[in-house]
A = this chain, B = another copy of it.
Amino acid sequence: MCYHIYMKTFFATDIKDGIVKLNNDEHNHLKNVMRLNVNDKVKVVTGDEYDYFCTITNIGKSETTLKVDSRQLNNSNPHTKLTCYMALIKNDNLSLIVQKLTELGCSDFVPFESQYTVNKDKGTKTDKLNTITQQSIKQCGRSKPMTIHSTISLKDIKPLLSQHDLIIFANETEKSMPLNQVLLENSNAKNIAFIVGCEGGFTEEEINYLVDSGAKSVTLGSRILRAETASIMLASIILYEFKEYC
């Protein structure tokens, strides 16, 4: 099994009749960086539940063709469904979060704009975040990337939150409710979400709206965490409590 994990992995958008075609970056990486040859064995992931074990049949100028030898259910996909609702922050930090949350085992990522979102950070590129999570699954062994959703406005979050049976909200004005108590009291949750704001935090009105939408306000202790640190820390702890790292 270790052999499979460490096989060189490529991301393909689709597989048709047992044939995979790699173009652009993936083709270039296989040919010019990895310098693989016809008949070499590689793993291909396409964003579904399976790993596809393939043999390279042709390396052309702009395209590599592979034949699928077998497929196997991937066992590194997360078992827990965890969605991160993350305020838009600097693009570099958003990229960092998407890479890390993919490795840690988050399922979904929903960026949002709130009142303190800085204007210049708006309009994050979903395509870029999709590329980052696809690159990240190749490294960490998942076959399904984190689903990157379109950016929403915080005021439209309520109907989305209603699908989750536990919603954790990192609230720096919260003084009394620690994260461990909320996790302990909701250990049967199956579809979990956490919400992290931008550097400026939330307005009082937004805090009330989130709590009214069913989000459980928690404190993360006495140190003030950067937005990206809070996000990575919360994903780590929630997935740990839900036995994702055993």
State whether B105 touches A75 (Cβ < 8 A).
no
Any B CB within 8 A of the CB of A226: yes
Contacts of A15 in B (CB 8 A): none
Query: With A224-B5, A246-B178 in contact, is A229–B100 under 8 Å at CB?
Result: yes
When all copies of this chain in the complex are counted, the total is 2
State whether B222 touches A141 (Cβ < 8 A).
yes
Q: Which of A48-56, A120-128, A233-241 contacts B (4 or more CB under 8 A)?
A: A233-241
Q: Within the assembled complex, what's the spacing in Å between the Cα atoms of A229 and B235?
A: 11
Contacts of A96 in B (CB 8 A): 96
State whether B236 touches A105 (Cβ < 8 A).
no
State whether A225 touches B179 (Cβ < 8 A).
no
Annotate A214-246 by CB proximity to B: 1 below 8 A, 0 otherwise: 000001111111100100110011001001111
Annotate A73-95 by CB proximity to B: 1 below 8 A, 0 otherwise: 00110100000000000000000
State whether A180 touches B240 (Cβ < 8 A).
yes
State whether B237 touches A103 (Cβ < 8 A).
no
CB nearest neighbor in B for A142 = B223
Q: Within the assembled complex, what's the spacing in Å between the Cα atoms of A176 and B180?
A: 25
State whether B232 touches A244 (Cβ < 8 A).
no
State whether B224 touches A244 (Cβ < 8 A).
no
Any B CB within 8 A of the CB of A104: yes
Q: Within the assembled complex, what's the spacing in Å between the Cα atoms of A225 and B245?
A: 11
Query: With A232-B236, A236-B237, A240-B237 in contact, is A224–B140 under 8 Å at CB?
Result: yes
Any B CB within 8 A of the CB of A130: no
State whether A223 touches B141 (Cβ < 8 A).
yes
Contacts of A139 in B (CB 8 A): 224, 226
Q: Within the assembled complex, what's the spacing in Å between the Cα atoms of A140 and B221?
A: 11
Chain A contacts with B in 100-145, Cβ cutoff 8 A: 100, 103-105, 139-142
CB nearest neighbor in B for A178 = B246
CB nearest neighbor in B for A76 = B222
A-B contact pairs, 11 of them (CB 8 A): A5-B224, A76-B222, A100-B229, A103-B229, A104-B229, A140-B224, A140-B226, A180-B245, A232-B233, A232-B236, A237-B240
* A→B interface (CB under 8 Å): 5, 75-76, 78, 96, 100, 103-105, 139-142, 178-180, 219-226, 229, 232-233, 236-237, 240, 243-246
